[in-house]
Chain A
Amino acid sequence: GAVVSQHPSWVICKSGTSVKIECRSLDFQATTMFWYRQFPKQSLMLMATSNEGSKATYEQGVEKDKFLINHASLTLSTLTVTSAHPEDSSFYICSARLGPPNTEAFFGQGTRLTVV
């Protein structure tokens, strides 16, 4: 199957700083990528849909100024958590699709963010 690589796998940062998470499709081009957030022992919450060459589409309740998404190329989307606070600590996961609807999604390995 296709490979989606996410980096870093974990990061610890101080309150008030910003953290960038990268999501790369290694062997395919992804015009659309998705960013999720997952709290311990909970489900994945879709945060936003990242579109190559255009603005991301955010889900209701997700602060677009807080979670900046950039999809600068067909193989890279980035999520920047700005002015991070302890409540932003979570597991962030990206995914990408090989093709149109009715195809499986491939997920990155996730990033564990801890804000201290």
Chain B
Amino acid sequence: SQQGEEDPQALSIQEGENATMNCSYKTSINNLQWYRQNSGRGLVHLILIRSNEREKHSGRLRVTLDTSKKSSSLLITASRAADTASYFCAKETSGSRLTFGEGTQLTVNP
């Protein structure tokens, strides 16, 4: 079974706005990773945040991790139409296994 939930399931915004996606999990993790998937394609790694880290940045992306609440968020600032995709969080547990959340479908309208 999948571990954790993501919300919202779908998000539609205008170009230039910020997009925030949330991910929760149930058991302890080694790290949490965010991936992007364009329709019908493979996944592209965005950011990895370790369990002892609280925040990471990469360009327009900002990821936070709150281990006390077992939750993470992905913020995309100044969104662009090209950011339209599905975004998944993935929790790494023992054995290097990654389990994925349900994903958020982001649509950025020009």
Contacts and interface: CB of A to CB of B under 8 A. Distances in A.
A1 B105 CA distance: 25
Contacts of B31: 101-102
A107 B66 CA distance: 27
A34 B98 contact: yes
B42 A6 contact: yes
B96 interface: yes
A44 interface: yes
A103 B90 CA distance: 12
A46 B97 contact: yes
B43 A107 contact: yes
A63 interface: no
Main secondary structure of the interface of B (DSSP, over half): strand
B40 A110 contact: yes
Contacts of B90: 105
Instruction: Place the interface of chain B in its size category.
Output: 20 to 34
B50 interface: yes
Nearest to B46: A104
Size bracket, chain A contacts? 20 to 34
A97 B92 CA distance: 12
Contacts of B96: 32, 97, 100-101
A46 B99 CA distance: 7
Interface in A44-99: 44-46, 49, 91, 93, 95, 97
A34 B101 CA distance: 16
A109 interface: yes
Contact of B50 (A46, A95, A100, A102): A102
B96 to A, nearest CB: 5
A99 B62 CA distance: 24
20 contacts: A32-B96, A34-B97, A34-B98, A43-B100, A44-B43, A44-B100, A46-B99, A93-B42, A95-B98, A101-B30, A104-B48, A105-B33, A105-B45, A105-B90, A105-B98, A107-B35, A107-B42, A107-B44, A109-B42, A110-B42
Given A44-B43, A95-B43, A107-B44, 6 more contacts: A43-B103, A49-B97, A91-B40, A102-B92, A105-B33, A105-B98
